Amino acid sequence: MDVAFLMDASGSVGADNFEKQKEFIKAVAGTLGLKSGLARAGSLVYSDMATVQQSFNSCNGTHSVVEAVDHIPYYGRTTRIDRALSLANTDLFSDAGGVRSYVANTLLLLTDGRQTPAADSISMERESAAGDSISMERAVKPLKEKKVKRIALGIGSQISPDELRKVVDGDEDVVTVDSFDDLISSMHMVSEKLCTSAGERVILITLPLEK
């Protein structure tokens, strides 16, 4: 399977919680069997803009994923979930991103808030250049058409369950935790959902990260 992690780098997250988000993603990646090459991971970070951190092509086992995640920058601006989904479609789940059409494709969206309308952005110049926000339904449509399974992980009390529900196919694909401190405790459940979406059997044993 090919799994993409979409990391929230908005201002509400905060630098300390952003590091907790990184540790969570590295821990989940360590359960996916990346060393064998049967599974691969990619990542992107989003705030007012979205940027690919690691394509599927550049995934070479768990160590490469850990290194890529460690270098993800924190932006601390607004929350443009639509841009994260759109970029995942064009630059990860695509030929350019190195996605494999013959395996299960899944993304995990993490957020601690809700979509920021373009007009409310801190960086008006950047927003104007990049265009207005689009609805969750429109942002997710190309991924649906490609049969990319979507799992949304909402963190804290400022999330919009209705908005997250629009990103995924079913209620069971939305996971919520009370705080960033609770992320690690949800690791096994999230890993199981990722593997189940790929039709794979998962054995949840906590082991050191693969090298």
Least confident among 9-13, 119-123, 141-145, 181-185: 119-123
Q: Which helix (H) or strand (E) holds 189?
A: helix 187-197
DSSP secondary structure letter of residue 101: T
Name the 3-class secondary structure at 152.
Answer: strand
Using CA atoms, how far apart are residues 99 and 143, in angstroms rounded to an integer?
12
Can you give the pLDDT at residue 196?
82
Q: Which comes out higher in pLDDT, residue 210 or 116?
A: 116
Can you give the pLDDT at residue 203?
37
Q: Which comes out higher in pLDDT, residue 2 or 208?
A: 2
Using CA atoms, how far apart are residues 17 and 63, in angstroms rounded to an integer?
22
Averaged pLDDT of the chain? 88
Is 131 exposed, middle or buried (CB count within 10 Å of its CB: 0-12, 13-18, 19+)? exposed
Q: What is the pLDDT of residues 48-103, one digit of tens each?
A: 999 999 999 999 888 999 999 999 999 999 999 999 999 999 999 999 999 998 99
The pTM assigned to this predicted structure is 0.88
User: Cα 59 to the chain's mean position, in Å?
Assistant: 16
Confidence of residue 155 (pLDDT cuts 50, 70, 90): very high
What is the average pLDDT across 23-51? 91
C-beta separation of 150 from 173 below 8 A: yes
Can you give the pLDDT at residue 132?
74
What is the average pLDDT across 178-185? 96
Q: Which residue has the tokens 């990860």?
A: 92
Is 184 exposed, middle or buried (CB count within 10 Å of its CB: 0-12, 13-18, 19+)? middle
HEC per residue, 27-87 = HHHCCCCHHHCCCEEEEEEECCCEEEEECHHHCCCHHHHHHHHHCCCCCCECCCHHHHHHH
Using CA atoms, how far apart are residues 68 and 84, in angstroms rounded to an integer?
17
Cα of first residue to Cα of last residue in the chain, in angstroms, is 19
What residues does 118 pair with on adjacent strands? none
